[in-house]
Structure 1
Amino acid sequence: MLNDRRVAFLVAPEGAEQVELTEPWKAVEEAGGRPSLVSTGKDPVQAFNHLDKADTFAVDRVAADCSADDFDALVLPGGVANPDFLRTDEGAVRFAKSFFQQGKPVAVICHGPWTLIEAGVLTGRQITSWPSLKTDIRNAGGEWVDAEVVVCEGEAGTLVSSRKPDDLPAFCRTLVEVFSRA
């Protein structure tokens, strides 16, 4: 169980795939963790069901104002627009990178690895993602694997990754297991 562990969910103001945010959030809560929504600004974030607008969610913290010191683990939901925006925001990239610098666990799904590519933290790591990121991950020094869920342990912490919404049951189960050990 997560025993009150603080888990940051980093999302852009618009474009996060709703189910890739809400299902892991629910898993963290059900395991006794404390999820917190972190974004690049204070305004509510707009989630999507693929290309259609879905719900909005209140932001708890701004990425530029916090670091891994404030949390025990990080989740990076996907959606195409979400990580594409995050990777251009210096505060968001610095925030994501701080988890690797402190050896704290990170879970990422779908297009989410774009933020990690920008943070320069994939060298020598095995990771999966939406298939269109395969070349980007390889160019960033990572080893792309086509699997439902991949767990890569290293000096810079444990990285949990999955490809797509269909992988969410395995992704959620695995991130809770990994975050519980941290």
Structure 2
Amino acid sequence: MRIAFLTAPEGVEQVELTEPWQAAKDAGHEPVLVSTRSGEIQAFDHLDKADTFPVDEVVGEVSADSFGGLVLPGGVANPDFLRTDEKAVAFVREFFTQGRPVAAICHAPWTLIEADVVRGRTLTSWPSLRTDIRNAGGTWVDERVQVCDHGASTLVTSREPDDLKAFCETFLAKFAEYDKAAG
């Protein structure tokens, strides 16, 4: 399965990109780095610059139907940038419209809020997003990982890097369920 990893040109929390990416590869999937422009993205280790990664696809030039699922890594700046990019927001919304699974960690639900896909869902995030999620019509819970099957789509969320093991195991299991059902 091809899995889109959507990030901004800079600001993604490196470990929230690299650990799920490696877990997807280890499970036999094809992770694809999608960003708002071509070239490279600049990852961060909290507030310090970390590594750069090459962009595989540019949002606006690809669609959700090219992928089996979507992973949204966090970092404060990453989703804050993405939620101001209309093409990125439309790309995220498209996964929900098509009933494809989505996984988001830490601050990534900000992009989900902007895509207006939180209403009626239960999710977790970095604690500072609690009020934003509630104001967008979602229910916030303080859990390592939260799965919300709502309508035709599945959303897997986690709070922070300490939850990455549970996050990766859970999103991979839910993506496998989707892949099996899609046949």
Equivalent residues in 2 for 1:13-162, closer than 5 Å: 13-162=9-158
Taking the aligned partners of 1:97 and 1:63, their CA distance within structure 2 comes to 12
Q: CA deviation at 1:156?
A: 3.8
Amino acid at match of 2:159: R
* Deviations 1:9-54 (CA, angstroms, capped at 9, x unpaired): 0000000000000000000000000000000000200000000000
* Deviations 1:118-149 (CA, angstroms, capped at 9, x unpaired): 00001100000000000000010100000000
Aligned-CA RMSD value: 0.5
Worse overlay, 153-162 or 111-120: 153-162
Taking the aligned partners of 2:82 and 2:140, their CA distance within structure 1 comes to 21
TM-score normalised per structure 2:
0.96
Partner SS state of residue 64, structure 1:
coil
Amino acid at match of 1:149: V
Structure 1, unaligned stretches of length 5 or more?
none
Instruction: Give the length in aligned residue pairs.
Output: 178
Taking the aligned partners of 1:136 and 1:37, their CA distance within structure 2 comes to 27
Taking the aligned partners of 2:61 and 2:126, their CA distance within structure 1 comes to 30
2:166 corresponds to 1:170: yes
Amino acid at match of 2:127: P
Runs of 4+, deviation exceeding 6 Å: none
Q: CA deviation at 1:62?
A: 0.6
Worse overlay, 149-158 or 80-89: 149-158
Question: What fraction of aligned residue pairs are identical, expressed as a percent?
Answer: 66
Amino acid at match of 1:161: T
* Deviations 1:88-129 (CA, angstroms, capped at 9, x unpaired): 000100000000000000000000000000000011000000
Taking the aligned partners of 2:24 and 2:151, their CA distance within structure 1 comes to 24
Partner SS state of residue 156, structure 2:
strand
TM-score normalised per structure 1:
0.97
